[in-house]
Amino acid sequence: MNLFLAIILIYLAYTSSILIRNLFSISKLEDFLPNEKIEVSQSPVISICIPARNEERSISKSVEAACRLSYTDFEVIVLNDQSTDATGDILNSLLEKFPNTLKVIQGTEKPSDWLGKPFACHQLSKHASGEYLIFVDADTILSDEAVSAALNVMRSNNLGFCTVWPRQITDNVSEKIIIPHVYFALLTLLPWHYTERKPKWMPNFFHQRFKDMFAAACGQYVMFTREAYHQIGGHESVKNEVVEDVALAKMIKNADITMKMLYGSTQVACRMYESHQEVWQGFRKNFFAGFSYNLFLFLIMAIIHIAVFLVPIGILLASLFVDMSSEIIMLSLLAFMIVLVQRAAVQRLMSLPLLYSFTHPIGVIWFQILGLRCISDYLLGKKVSWKDRQVN
């Protein structure tokens, strides 16, 4: 048991080193706010593309924020993707409010070999006239300077692509427990800087074959130069990908297009889901897909999570009723404390209550249950629906 716990602590030391490096090296969009207003003659046209299907709760805030940017030369294009709720009526009202900025197009029937979001974004790209294309979700809220800052990022780093991870708005208990796990995994498992450059320790031979392993993106805010977008084939290149944002990032990496990831912090916010049912169904559609339906890798990660995040707590609880050596108790307590500090660091970055750091084991159990459901869906060939449409 001591050896087992020692291995867990080695793993936690490794993830902690990644987390610490990420916290010190992560770029925030607010760091690129323009010092002065960009002159009209220097401002390229930027197309902000928003796919919307049954988004009556969030579409108004998202579109109004996009239409009120401080940037001078932009267009907002919203695709009403055959919504069956009040989304269309809300968009018509917004058209009257922003006639010179907003364009609303009606989505056509999805081809059988496309998934909904990639096809919606593909249609949007056909109507976009900008030199830069920004795709944001219908629940993403932009600050006045969010686009100007992103343009500064693209220009100052000579990028073809950037992606912004928004500050997540969480109102109910389910959101507060579950949503931070996305950022926890991102910040403890992926060295942020390797999405932008080659690891110095990795030979070119291996990097050319495995560079897309360091690809990540958040579809709530992705920005391309028009040239880069068309170079990778746009959304048509990921037309049947459930996790299309990561697939796009892989295309970018494989095409050797320069990219950068940022944290939205004060400039971009998003509320992904608004109920536990939405949280469950939302993650159900993309959890296993995020592993490219690799059952072996999925199970390995489940075992690691159970061992690292649940076993030490189980030992500590069992020690209340069963005699155990002080070494085992101390090693288990140390593992628990490291995880608690890691989660607290993520909570602080996301401006979320530190108290919810203690709910990390609950979230891990939740994801194990969800994983079993995802495997069941996969083995039984059960289709998952989102926004009244099958997504796989």
User: What is the per-residue pLDDT for 379?
Assistant: 92
Q: What is the C-alpha to C-alpha distance for residues 86 and 338, in angstroms, rounded to an integer?
A: 47
Residues 84 and 171 in one domain: yes
Whether residue 304 contacts residue 335, with contact meaning beta carbons closer than 8 Å, is answered with: no
> Is residue 283 in a domain?
no
> Is residue 37 in a domain?
yes
User: What is the per-residue pLDDT for 200?
Assistant: 83
Q: What is the C-alpha to C-alpha distance for residues 248 and 40, in angstroms, rounded to an integer?
A: 31
Residues 113 and 174 in one domain: yes
Residues 129 and 55 in one domain: yes
> Is residue 139 in a domain?
yes
> Is residue 69 in a domain?
yes
Q: Which of 160, 116, 108 is nearest to 137 (CA)?
A: 116
Backbone angles phi, psi at 261, to 5 degrees: -110, 145
> Is residue 281 in a domain?
no
Show which of 246, 274, 302 is a domain's final residue. 274
> Is residue 202 in a domain?
yes
Residues 241 and 337 in one domain: no
For residue 368, count CB atoms less than 10 angstroms from its CB and return exposed for 0-12, middle for 13-18, buried for 19 or more. Answer: middle
Measured from the Cβ of residue 93, the count of other Cβ atoms closer than 10 Å reads 11
Residues 90 and 206 in one domain: yes
Residues 210 and 359 in one domain: no
Averages of pLDDT over runs of 10 residues in the chain (392 residues) are: 91 97 93 68 88 95 95 95 94 94 95 93 96 97 95 94 95 94 96 88 81 90 97 96 94 94 94 92 92 93 96 92 89 96 96 94 97 94 81 70
Q: Write out the residue range of the structural domain in which residue 366 sits.
A: 2-22+288-390
3 state DSSP class of 345: helix
Residues 69 and 213 in one domain: yes
Whether residue 203 contacts residue 112, with contact meaning beta carbons closer than 8 Å, is answered with: no
> Is residue 169 in a domain?
yes
Residues 339 and 373 in one domain: yes
Residues 134 and 86 in one domain: yes
Residues 259 and 356 in one domain: no
User: What is the per-residue pLDDT for 34?
Assistant: 80
Structurally, how many domains does the chain consist of? 2
Q: Where are the alpha helices (DSSP H) in the chain?
A: 2-25, 59-67, 87-97, 116-127, 146-156, 173-178, 180-189, 204-210, 226-231, 244-254, 276-286, 295-305, 311-318, 326-349, 360-380
Q: Which of 65, 53, 2 is nearest to 269 (CA)?
A: 65
User: What is the per-residue pLDDT for 36?
Assistant: 58
Show which of 274, 309, 324 is a domain's final residue. 274
Whether residue 145 contacts residue 65, with contact meaning beta carbons closer than 8 Å, is answered with: no
Domain CATH code at residue 239: 3.90.550.10
Which residues are paired to 102 by β-bridges? 76
376, two tokens? 């069941």
Q: Which of 188, 168, 192, 187 is nearest to 178 (CA)?
A: 168
User: What is the per-residue pLDDT for 330?
Assistant: 94
Q: What is the C-alpha to C-alpha distance for residues 119 and 124, in angstroms, rounded to an integer?
A: 9
User: What is the per-residue pLDDT for 42?
Assistant: 67
> Is residue 238 in a domain?
yes
Residues 131 and 256 in one domain: yes
Whether residue 288 contacts residue 375, with contact meaning beta carbons closer than 8 Å, is answered with: yes
Residues 168 and 70 in one domain: yes
